[in-house]
Every structure is written in C-alpha cells, then in structure tokens.
Structure 1
Amino acid sequence: MPDSLERWLAAKTPDTRTLEGRFIRLEKLDPERHGDELWLALQGPQADPNLWDYLPYGPFNERPTFDAWLQKHADSRDPHFYAVIDKPSGEAQGLLSLMCIVPEHGRIEIGHVAFGAPMQRSPKSTEAVYLLAKEAFALGNRRLEWKCNNDNARSKRTAVRFGYTYEGVFRQHMVVKGKNRDTTWYSIISTEWPPLAAGFEKWLALDNQPESGQIKTLEECRATAV
C-alpha cells in the first residue's frame, strides 16, 4: 500500500475560500465580478488562438453564449471553478477547476484549465496549479489526477513538468467536438506531494523569481528541494 489507511477519513469537498499565492490568488468564480475580464482574456484580440483546441467547448464568438457558459461553471459544484486573479492588476486572467471529486475515495482532478495569454509561460500559471494541488491534498485527498487528449502535447509536457506520473492511455475514451479522444492519464499521490510541494515553493520563491525572470527551472528546484 502507498500509504496507511488506518487513520484516513473521507476527504472534504472544496469550498469558497480564496487561495492566496505570491503572484496570483484563486477566487471562487463569479461571472458578475470576473466576466468582463475573462471575456477579454480568453476571447479578446490578444487571446491565445489555440486555447480552445482541446477543450470540450469554445471558442465563443458571442458574449451571451460565453456568459451562459461562465454562469453554468460558476453554479457547478463538480467541477468547482476558480478565477485566477493577477495580484498586481487585480484582473481575472484565467480559470481552472477541481473536478471529478470523489471524497469517499480521496480522489480529485485539476482540469478545465483556460489561461489567458498574460498567464501563459509565466509563474502565474504554475502557481495557479500549485495552489490547487496544495488545496487538493489539504482537503485530505489521496490522489490528484491530470487527464488530457493524447494529441495535446502542450498539456502532456505540463503534467510532466509539474511532477505528475504518467499512467497510460485510455483509447477511444471520449468523443469531443465530433472527434475521437484518446485520454492520457497522470497522477500525484499523497505520499509524493511533500517533495513536489517543496520544489514548487522553491521555484516560486523571490530568490528564484526576481523581476528579471526565473533562475532555476522547476525541475532543477524539485531535484534540490529538501
């Protein structure tokens, strides 16, 4: 067994608390507060043109359709959505969720990741995932999952960079937007989290992330984290 279950109780479910980081904070998604900024970040003229390629929805060419989609996410308990707020500007620049929430088995997933262009390839995107992973294990979960389309090379690279373990491919797992999806599975289990967390914290620290940019990669920080 990877860990003892003698004292383990069912995990708690996510709540509406704000999760604070150095670069960003995660707030429970609220379309009234976050809608205008998310529309600009995800659908505006500077938005990533490939953002929606592997998501089961989007792109949105009309604001009312986007607003209805955002409200549906805000009302959902599983997935449980967060807006990513850039601390210096106070702007919502992306969203992501905790999903596939199974408290009785201590299993949960990070998914529905949609980061606007200002977040991509920045400490903000890494910190957003770190904060949700930290919350997932703080809630008492034993297993954190990451799943993606097997054709989504960017998401697969991200999972490996974050320290997830590759588990295999579910062939012909889903039909998404009229196309077959083979799904690649990754996980982090509770016994693996403490050293991974130390690596994230070392990478996000001020001495590694000065204004001029990162000094050591996440992988390097993880290898030397205590």
Structure 2
Amino acid sequence: MTEHVNLYGQPVGEALPLWSARSFPARITLTGHYCRVEPLCVARHVDALYAAYAAAPDGRDWTYMFVGPFRDKEAYRAYLTATEQQQDSQCYVVIDTRTDNAVGTFSLMRVDVNNGVIEVGSVAFSPALKRTPLATEAHFLLMGYVFEQLHYRRYEWKCDSLNAPSRRAALRLGFTFEGIFRQAVVYKGRARDTAWFSLLDNEWPQCKRDFLDWLAQDNFDTEGKQVESLAAIRGSRLKGSS
C-alpha cells in the first residue's frame, strides 16, 4: 500500500519533482569481456549475421519473431536495411570478441522518453550466441546502459505467452513477470497473448551485482562451464536477505 497521500487524504504515487524526459538511445558501443554490443550497420554486419543464423538446423528460432525465417541473404538484407532506418527504435549487434564476428541482434524499442520506459525486443540470437556467457553479458551491458547512462525507470521484456524459452530467459535475467495481455497481437496469421515482464531502476543495483558475480572469471572452469548458475546466485542472495 502506498505511503503517499494528497491533500484530500487520497493515496497517490511517489512524487518525482526532479523528473525530466530521458534521452533516446544512441548509436553507442558497449564493450565487455566476452562480447561487444554495437549499433547495427548493414554493410558491416549482414554477411556474418546471415551466416550465424544459417547455422541453425531449421527455422524454429523465428517462430515467435514478427519476421523470418528468410528465404535468402537478400531478403534478410532488406529486413536489416529497414531496421537500420527506423527512427523509433535502435538495433544493436552482438559481436564475439574472440572472433570479431556478429552473432546476434536485439533492439531498444517502444521508447517512452517522457515516462522513462523502454523495451528490449526483437532478440535474435544465433546458435553461436545462445546459452553462452556472451548472451548474458550482452543483456547485462544493454541493461547497464539503459539504467546507468540513460537513467530510465522501467525496462520491459515482452513475448508470446507460448514462448517458453523467452519467458525462462526473462526470469533468469532478473525480470519480474507481470501478467498476460490476452489477444494482444495478431502476427504471422495467428493470435498472440503477450507475457509482460519488467525490471525497475531500484532493482538494478542488486541485479547488477548478481550479473557481476556470475560473469566473474572464477565462476567458470577451464572448459568454460559455469560453476554456479545465475539463478543459484540470485537465490542465495534472496535467501540471505530473508
């Protein structure tokens, strides 16, 4: 229950007297240990990205995306070109720092600068990126940019409610499940109920510490396998704070 009331004794939200509109995401490069996140450039990235996605055995990775799978590189190039030209979102490419190859993309979208709300979406990670430290670090870098440089208040994740891997990923990354928007979208000729998740600015500091503990070099053995999972690290922290 809110602790704030107005002059009529009615409960109201927390006052934000110093609030101001936030900036739109920039074409910025973010560098980590495993990966680099940089703005999409079709001319520089299309070949490596298409090759990375082509390594998948079938088109199932595109089932819950609004686009794809693509019949050939030119079709994918056309999609990337349109994406690069969009003014209402900013697409970023994940680069494997070991190979300097592009291995996936994601975007900051549905940007609400007035209210400090932003969504990470269009997450298209290739087989070379999925379930790797690079994937986690890429999300960590983008979250840090949103909360620490752009100073947004709310970071959203949305997906088809039937997309179990995406829902698991959101929870693993520290998002809170908020509910289902029924019959919210029609795409690819079918209905979609949308699952909503969020991470707030006041939750980010602890979430950041969990990421840093998981990404620490001593949390991986000589074969690169994690010693302790991110979920276990978060669970230990929650248990210790109870």
The TM tier, using the shorter chain, reads over 0.9
Is the 1:96–1:110 contact (alpha carbons within 8 Å) kept by the matching residues of 2? yes
1:60 paired residue among 66, 70, 85: 70
Q: 1:187 aligns with which of 184, 198, 202?
A: 198
Q: Identify unmatched segments of 5+ residues in structure 2.
A: 3-12
1:23-38 equivalences under 5 Å are 23-38=34-49
Aligned partners of 2:221, 2:20: CA distance in 1, in Å?
Answer: 41
Q: Go from structure 1 to structure 2 and tell me whether the alpha carbon gap of 1:108 and 1:51 turns closer, same or farther (over 3 Å shift).
A: same
TM-score normalised according to structure 2 size: 0.88
Provide the secondary structure at the position in 1 that maps to 2:61: coil
Q: Are the counterparts in 2 of residues 147 and 184 from structure 1 also a CA contact under 8 Å?
A: yes
The aligned residue for residue 154 of structure 1 is: 165
Contact kept? 2:156, 2:198, Cα under 8 Å: yes
Partner of 1:144: 155
Shift of the alpha carbon at 1:13? 1.3
- Contact between 1:47 and 1:117, CA under 8 Å: does it hold in 2? no
CA distance in 1, matches of 2:16, 2:123: 31
Q: Once the 2 structures are TM-superposed, how far is the Cα of residue 47 of structure 1 from its aligned partner?
A: 5.5
What is the Cα deviation at residue 9 of structure 1? 2.2
Aligned to 2:177: 166
Whether the 8 Å CA contact 1:10–1:140 is kept in 2: the answer is no
Aligned equivalents of 2:22 and 2:236: distance in 1? 30
**Among residues 1, 7, 12, which one is paired with 2:23 in the alignment?**
12
User: 1:103-149, CA deviations, whole angstroms, 9 ceiling, x for partnerless residues?
Assistant: 11000011000011011111111111111111111201000000000
2:98, 2:91 → 1: CA distance?
Answer: 22
Residues matched between the structures, number = 225
Partner of residue 221, structure 1: 233
Render the CA deviation track for 1:167-226: whole Å, top value 9, x for unaligned: 110000010100000000000111111100110111011111344211111022234569
Partner of 1:144: helix, strand, or coil? strand
Residues 63 and 76 (structure 1 numbering): CA distance in 2 closer, same or farther, change over 3 Å?
same
User: Are the equivalent residues in 2 in contact too, given 1:48–1:117 (CA < 8 A)?
Assistant: no
SS at match of 1:146: strand
Deviates more, 1:20-29 or 1:202-211: 202-211
Structure with the greater alpha carbon radius of gyration: 2
Larger RCO, structures 1/2 (Cα 8 Å, 6+ apart): 1
Q: Is the 8 A contact 2:59 2:69 kept in 1?
A: no
Confirm or deny that 1:80 pairs with 2:90. yes
Partners of 2:132 and 2:78 in 1: CA distance: 29
Identify if the C-alpha distance between structure 1 residues 7 and 121 changes in structure 2 by more than 3 Å, giving closer, same or farther: same
Identify the residue that residue 210 of structure 2 maps to in structure 1: 199
Tell whether the 8 Å contact from 2:55 to 2:127 is kept in structure 1 after alignment: no
Q: Taking structure 1 as the reference length, what is the TM-score of the superposition?
A: 0.94
- 2:50 corresponds to which residue? 39
Percent of pairs identical after alignment?
Answer: 39
Tell me the distance in 2 between the aligned counterparts of 1:41 and 1:3: 46
One-letter amino acid matched to 2:64: Y
Answering whether residue 130 of structure 2 is matched by residue 120 of structure 1, we say yes
C-alpha distance in 2 between matches for 1:33 and 1:163: 32
Q: Distance in 1 between matches of 2:219 and 2:193?
A: 37
Is contact 2:27–2:90 with CA below 8 Å preserved after alignment? no
48 and 86 in structure 1: CA distance in 2 versus 1, 3 angstrom threshold: farther
Q: CA RMSD in A?
A: 1.7
Deviation at 1:10, TM superposition (A): 1.7
Asked if the contact 1:41/1:47 (under 8 Å) is kept, the reply is no
